[in-house]
Structure 1
Amino acid sequence: MSMMKRLADSASKESSWQSSLRKNEPCSCLSLCLRVIFLDHTYLHIFIALQDLWETEWSKSGRSTSFTEVDLTAAGAAQVSSAAAVLVGSGKFIDPCHVAHVFVSPRKRAQATMDLLLPSSSDISKEKITFTEVITEWNYGDYEGKTNEEIRRLRKDKGWDKEQEWTVWSDGLEEVTNRLDKLIVHIKTIQKPLMDGKEPADIVLVAHGLILRCFAKRWLGYRLSDGIPMMLEPGAVGILSYRDNNINKPAIHIGTQIRMT
């Protein structure tokens, strides 16, 4: 099964909290989980924030979006603001006073997400924000603008379901690997002198679903072609870190010390 077919199949299955956010309704499961979590900032974190939940005209009709510039709808902007109230702030999942730098995809929808998620009134100055093509979405090539059904029909017509999984992409494994590896080196350069936790050291990435999954693979040293089961739901925030606070031991932070309020 192709990567895009797997993504298309999973995209059609929407969880209850995702449905609530799409309708701009309160989401009890998300708020209950995150409002009682306070991250242990003894460790450095790399937060990966997924833009692809927030509504655009294309997402409303189920069209795949990578390089095309599509604005958030008014409903999409309201969704981001609602999520930011839960996710971002003093003592919350992303605490601006602990952030050293933010890297944002230059796509308009990602920039709009960042502006609403981390408003200018927060403790994150403009000097700490970089817009970079390094984390722009993997170019969907022939899949751009197509619905899941159109993608399945295209693959069947061209006989791609049996082989040639990557041939539709206009940028390949090597190109994406190289650009992500350069970003990882840059992030480690920022965080290495901050490992003692005395100054803000967290990194935030605001980007898109496929490229962030690829980033997580490269963070752990896996090839993009390696079949590693992982889930990053639209609108989610994941955490990467370092084992033993050692810059040479990148890890996925699957659990963190919490205290209840």
Structure 2
Amino acid sequence: MSEESGPELWVVRHGETEWSRDGKHTSTTDLPLTDVGEQAATSLAPRLAEVEFDLVLTSPRQRARRTAELAGFADAQVDGDLVEWDYGDYEGVTTPEIRETVPGWTVWTHPVPGGESADQVSARLDRVAERVRDHQRSLVFAHGHSLRVLTARWLCQPADEGRFFKLDTSTVSVLGFERETPALLKWNS
């Protein structure tokens, strides 16, 4: 990696699932992609085929692994640190439903009963960031909130700064450096 540019980290959010489409928090529930999700994941292949990656990782959840496969990376290494934020008691529940009993709730600002804290999620994704910084260009397939935390941590920010990075399904984003400063190079494209 050149001193000018540093390593790049390409992040891909998995394709649509029934619950992502419906706004339900999905962490440990291992849902398949919808037909729309499969088509969108397949459409990523030509965009990613032109780039040479020296490390490709995926969350162990089938939605991420299937997205990696359809995008042309069936041999992606499974990394358990890339799993989605554990939503505990809020698994399968939408934000409006949670707010019926906890007004103003967001994963960024409130506790997640029975799930992970922001510090726990940060610790996992710090390990991913450290691992990929040893490579010129890495690609990871994972989930909405986990990738947003990974982005915040890449940029040397606390996990809750991930709230500023809206991330749609089947999108490609690129993290890197401007000289020695971690930078956001491309987002949600």
Q: TM-score range by the shorter chain?
A: 0.7 to 0.9
**Equivalent in the alignment of 2:178:** 243
TM-score (normalizing by structure 1): 0.61
TM-score (normalizing by structure 2): 0.81
Distance 1:254 1:79 in 2: 19
- Given the alignment, which residue of 4, 10, 17 partners 1:56? 17
**Equivalent in the alignment of 2:64:** 110
- Given the alignment, which residue of 23, 45, 49 partners 1:89? 49
1:184-240 deviation per Cα after TM superposition (whole angstroms, max 9, x unaligned): 22222x22xxxxxxxxx2100110111111111111111123586333233221111
Distance 1:227 1:150 in 2: 22
**Equivalent in the alignment of 1:21:** none
Query: Which amino acid in the other structure matches residue 166 of structure 2?
Result: M
**Equivalent in the alignment of 1:149:** 96
In the TM superposition, what is the alpha-carbon distance from 1:55 to its structure 2 partner? 3.1
Equivalent runs, 1:64-143 vs 2, <5 Å: 64-85=25-46, 87-90=47-50, 95=51, 98-119=52-73, 126=75, 129-143=76-90
**Alpha carbon RMSD of aligned pairs, Å?**
2.7
Distance 1:72 1:173 in 2: 27
Give the total of aligned pairs: 181
Query: Which amino acid in the other structure matches residue 209 of structure 1?
Result: G
Q: SS of 1:155's equivalent?
A: coil
**Percent identity (aligned):** 30
Runs of 5+ consecutive residues of structure 1 not aligned to the other structure: 1-41, 121-125, 192-200, 256-261
**Structure 1 residue runs of 4+, over 4 Å off?**
none
Distance 1:169 1:242 in 2: 36
Distance change (3 Å), C-alpha of 1:174 and 1:147 = closer
Equivalent runs, 1:1-261 vs 2, <5 Å: 43=5, 44-51=7-14, 54-85=15-46, 87-90=47-50, 95=51, 98-119=52-73, 126=75, 129-156=76-103, 165-168=110-113, 170-188=115-133, 190-191=134-135, 201-226=136-161, 229-244=164-179, 246=180, 249-254=181-186
Q: SS of 2:159's equivalent?
A: coil
In the TM superposition, what is the alpha-carbon distance from 1:169 to its structure 2 partner? 5.6
